[in-house]
Amino acid sequence: MIPLYNTSDIRRLDSFAINSLKVPGIVLMENASIGIYQIINQKYSGIKSIGIICGKGNNGGDGFAVARHFSNAGIEVKVIYVGAANSMSGDCRTNYEILKRLSLRRNNLKIRAFKFVNDINWLIKCDLIVDAMLGSGFKGELKEPYYSIVNTVNKFRSVKCAVDIPTGLNSDTGSGDCVFNSDLTITLGEFKKGLFIEKGYQNCGDVKLKEIGIGNDFFNNIKIDTYLIEPEDVFRSLPKRSKLANKYSAGKVLSIAGSYQYPGAAVLASHSALVAGAGASVLYIPESAKKLVHKSLTEVVVESYGTSKTYWLNSDALKHIKERIRWADVLVIGPGLGRSSETKDAVRKLLLNKGTKYTVLDADALNALDEKFLAQIDLNDCLFTPHLGEFANLINTDISRIRKDILKYGRDFAVRHKTVLILKGAPTIIFNKSGEAFINTTGNSGMAKFGTGDVLTGILGGLLAQIKNTETAAYTAVYLHSLSADLLLQKKPLSNYLPTDIIKNFPNSIKFIEGSVV
């Protein structure tokens, strides 16, 4: 796992370096600027002109220093600074003064003060624009003139790079009403949480880390609660099958899913459980939908309840399923069940009487629940898999509020109910019972289709039946499911693959992990 930090942690790093190690701040700034120059030069080696927008704090100082390195290399450099020189921080002012004097001697270096929004158009023809305005200290809503500057530059066709944090982004929560849209973000000291969620995920582009030259000792004693998932984590979690395994010891999954209206969701979930490695998958579905799914499920056992006029799950169906629940290692509840009042009542009764059985809750099962009901039952062996809209309904909170601090809301739910929460989205985030968050690093927008979530639910059930640990199964399933979608891009355009393609390609995601991790 790659640890992610709060802005306050990084600020303490600067203080530690300056006050305890006695490293001058200007040295830290120079170390950072050299690294930024090297990363940009390596990634965009063909640039001929660069525009840099500098603020009056240390982020701006980094920008002034970066401008000097590019000018030294013979690149055409244009710099605009926002704020009066006498209001700049000390180290920022030092690098500004150096650059100003150099500009009097060089034809390839020009520097001017920002006065009006139209001044930014001076940079419109630059190959690359560097945002060195505000950095990681920013909170709240972006004010003028930064709001207009960011909106203007975001329309430029130039490649864009942010120093430390794109201007307008909250580096702890990933929120922001107006954010610099960067192709590359070079973050300093350590990775920040907000770079990888919400507006950070949308606006940071390729994120690179530049240490500031004092090593990582400082971070050894900081408590970490948020991580990026790495391939090595998934490799270590892959189920190991015994030579003596049989179809039942390899994991038994019972999917209580589907209805006459939504039979396809049940097909995707129950079939995915087998593809994920479960030895046995049984689908429990209304009699009216049985014929609709039989031809598609040659390997899954399909059992039905009710009559040809039973269209969805009801309480009567639960009387006939007790033995199957005892038989199963994992229950998968929800895909395609429908939202009738009878179904909601049946889901609640099922959860109240299932005992300590591992359970994956998705889709219509989630719509049957609320926090008051959840407080009545033991959720220790459960996995919740809502997308953001379902999660908002579950906790009775507006989506917009959740987006402003998605880590907080996810942590609170998982800790309060002592369960594992998979909050599906771009990216998907897993929260464990202790409040730790694991951010998925695979996946693409081609997954935005009906049925993709049902496939994930089945994969979760199949892996959980083998791994028998909700947290480990959660991040392993999420990573591999999205990796399967990434590997599809070698075969199909982004918008043209289907959830069934993810299922078919899933074994390749496991082979990829096995072959790439040494």
377: pLDDT strictly greater than 70: yes
Q: What is the CA radius of gyration of the chain?
A: 27
The Cα–Cα gap between 247 and 117 comes to: 68
pLDDT of residue 24: 83
- For 26-61, the pLDDT digits (tens) are 888 899 999 999 999 999 988 999 999 999 999 999
Higher pLDDT residue, 416 or 9? 416
CA atoms of 164 and 357, how far apart (whole Å): 46
Write the pLDDT tens digit of every residue in 101-143: 999 999 999 999 999 989 999 999 999 999 999 988 888 889 9
**What does the DSSP assignment read for 74-91?**
T-EEEEEE-S-GGGS-HH
Cα distances (angstroms) measured from residue 336 to each of 295, 362, 422: 18, 9, 19
CATH 3.40.1190.20 for domain 231-516:
yes
Q: What is the pLDDT of residue 500?
A: 94
Query: What pLDDT digit, counting tens, does each position of 253-262 carry?
Result: 999 999 999 9
> Is the confidence at residue 217, as pLDDT, over 90?
no
pLDDT cut 90: percent of the chain above it: 77
In this prediction, residue 283 carries a pLDDT of: 96
The Cα–Cα gap between 73 and 344 comes to: 67
- What's the pLDDT band for 518 if we cut at 50, 70, 90? low
Q: Across all residues in the chain, what is the average pLDDT?
A: 92
Q: Give the pLDDT confidence score for residue 215 in this predicted structure.
A: 65
CATH superfamily of 2-223: YjeF N-terminal domain (3.40.50.10260)
**508 has a pLDDT exceeding 80:** yes
The predicted model scores a pTM of 0.92
According to the model, what pLDDT value does residue 41 have? 93
Predicted confidence at residue 212, as pLDDT, reads 77
- What DSSP state is assigned to residue 143? P
- Burial of residue 154, with CB atoms counted within 10 A of its CB: 0-12 exposed, 13-18 middle, 19 or more buried: middle
- Per-residue model confidence as pLDDT tens digits over 378-403: 999 999 999 999 999 999 999 999 99
**Separation between Cα atoms, residue 313 and residue 410, nearest integer Å:** 29
- 417 closest CA partner among 369, 387, 377: 377
- Mean pLDDT check: name the lowest of 11-25, 353-367, 413-427, 465-479: 11-25
User: Where in the chain are the domains?
Assistant: 2-223, 231-516
d(CA 170, CA 166): 9
**The residue to which tokens 């030069």 are assigned:** 41
Cα dihedral 43, 48, 49, 55 in deg (nearest 10): 30
Pairing of strands 382-384, 420-423: parallel
Alpha carbons within 13 angstroms on the beta-carbon side of residue 82 total 26
Pairwise CA distance, residues 178 & 180, whole Å:
7
The amino acid occupying position 433 is K
* The predicted structure's pLDDT at residue 263: 93
User: In angstroms, rounded to a whole number, what is the distance separating the alpha carbons of residues 511 and 517?
Assistant: 10
CA distance 415 to 429: 15
